[in-house]
Amino acid sequence: MRTIGPRKTAGKTATGRVVLGDKRVGAILAEALEVREEVDRYTHGFHTWPAGLHPDAARMLIDAFPGKSVGDPFMGGGTILVEAMAAGRFAFGRDVSRVSLRIAKARTSTAGEDVLTKMRSTARKLAAEAPQAKELPPDEILRSIQAWYEPHVLTELEHIRRGVFASEGPERPLLEAVFSSLLVKASFRKSDTSAKREPYHRPIGTTAVLFHKKARELGRRIAALREAVPPNTPAPDVARMDARRWTTPSPLDLVVTSPPYPSTYDYLPLQHLRRIWFGEVEEDAAEIGPRRDWREGARGAVSKWRNDTELWTAAVAKSLTRDGHLVVVIGDGLTPAGSIDTSDATEKAAAAAGMTSVARASVERADPGRDTTRWEHIFAFKNARS
């Protein structure tokens, strides 16, 4: 695998662009890489997700290829699925993360007003009660998360958690997603992508108020998505699955996905607080390309990442219709020793899986967190298997 050293950028936002293959498709791929404007559409933006695909990019990539179905084996927060539904296509999403599953199910919900009314009324009741709550979380939760919250925030969150888990109707999954959306915001963690501890004071009751506000927001967003989805669009199929073992009940016309950039995040550990609050088991071993692999040695990490790339790509290729397409959005990994070129491994994995290249676009842009640049790529492949 080609490895190049970091480049200083002096604040530049982009330093290069490459488009290869079909000109029309290549131009669309390049445009998708370069969109940056904020989007307030459907359920986008309701719940944070590290390095999620831009909603406009998802829309462009889906619109660029024909078909009735769209899949994503690394669905994350569900952006591809939401845009597939809005385009009137069957959306099929999988991810190894239980947090991803919870978020994506909520974000692809088209629940009716009766369910949304129940969600909002439950949230309002819990929010009114939570500031007076005194009971701390159970010891098995408290031991792991106590240092991340003020005491009164812990009691408010615990009251909300119990109320959400006591819900028995179809509103519960939506309330769980609302609760999940608070757990980093109300903590001392710097952000969803940084575990740095930054203590600050959150006044009593503000966590409860935020819960109610987020429930109302989700209700509005689900209603907007329901209105946008064309009549007779099939319900989405969202479940947990390792991408390396990807299977579908019937062939898909299009798969659009953005697998983890190698050595960029430890995605699953970033969800530590949510995992503890929901009482979920550790699942780190299933992650592809986590940063921690490179701490144990670059040679083994690169070999493992390439093998995993070949596995999930081959599995996806088998799920495509005869003329189906796979679109991959991925960026080079950045390590102290240099960058990890993902283009070579992606193209070779696709070829080995029986796919041909349609077009490719690559853009080099600044990575402000590391004062260097990173190449990001979109590849479009067509199934050539008979």
Structural domain includes residue 61: yes
**pLDDT tens-digit map of 12-54:** 344 578 999 999 999 999 999 999 888 999 999 999 998 889 9
Cα-based angle 99, 221, 81 (whole degrees, multiple of 5): 55
pLDDT of residue 219: 98
HSE-CB for 377 with a 13 A CA cutoff: 24
Q: Is the pLDDT of residue 9 over 60?
A: no
Cα-based angle 51, 55, 57 (whole degrees, multiple of 5): 90
Torsion of CA 130, 133, 139, 140, to 10 degrees: -10
**pLDDT tens-digit map of 74-118:** 999 999 999 999 999 999 999 999 999 999 999 999 999 999 999
Considering the domain architecture, whether residues 57 and 119 belong to the same structural domain is answered as: no
Cα-based angle 382, 378, 92 (whole degrees, multiple of 5): 65
Considering the domain architecture, whether residues 343 and 311 belong to the same structural domain is answered as: yes
**pLDDT tens-digit map of 170-207:** 999 999 999 999 999 999 999 998 889 999 999 999 99
Domain that holds residue 82: 3-97+234-383
Considering the domain architecture, whether residues 252 and 279 belong to the same structural domain is answered as: yes
The total number of structural domains in the chain stands at 2
> What DSSP assignment string belongs to 142-166?
HHHHGGGS-HHHHHHHHHHHHHHHH
pTM of the full predicted structure?
0.93
What DSSP state is assigned to residue 375? E
Structural domain includes residue 141: yes
User: Burial, 113: exposed, middle or buried (Cβ in 10 Å; 0-12, 13-18, 19+)?
Assistant: exposed
What phi and psi values does residue 189 have, to the nearest 5 degrees?
-70, 140
Structural domain includes residue 108: no
**pLDDT tens-digit map of 117-161:** 999 999 999 999 999 999 999 999 999 999 999 999 999 999 999
pLDDT of residue 3: 33
Structural domain includes residue 215: yes
Domain boundary among 226, 246, 262: 226
pLDDT of residue 13: 42
Considering the domain architecture, whether residues 89 and 38 belong to the same structural domain is answered as: yes
Structural domain includes residue 106: no
HSE-CB for 107 with a 13 A CA cutoff: 31
Cα 377 to Cα 379: distance, rounded to the nearest angstrom: 6
pLDDT of residue 285: 64
Q: Is the pLDDT of residue 294 over 70?
A: yes
Cα 164 to Cα 211: distance, rounded to the nearest angstrom: 11
Q: What one-letter code names the amino acid at 198?
A: E
pLDDT of residue 17: 86
pLDDT of residue 365: 83
DSSP-assigned beta bridge partners for residue 240:
95
Cβ contacts of residue 264 below 8 Å, gap of 6+? 51, 289, 291, 331, 333, 334
What phi and psi values does residue 342 have, to the nearest 5 degrees?
-90, -10
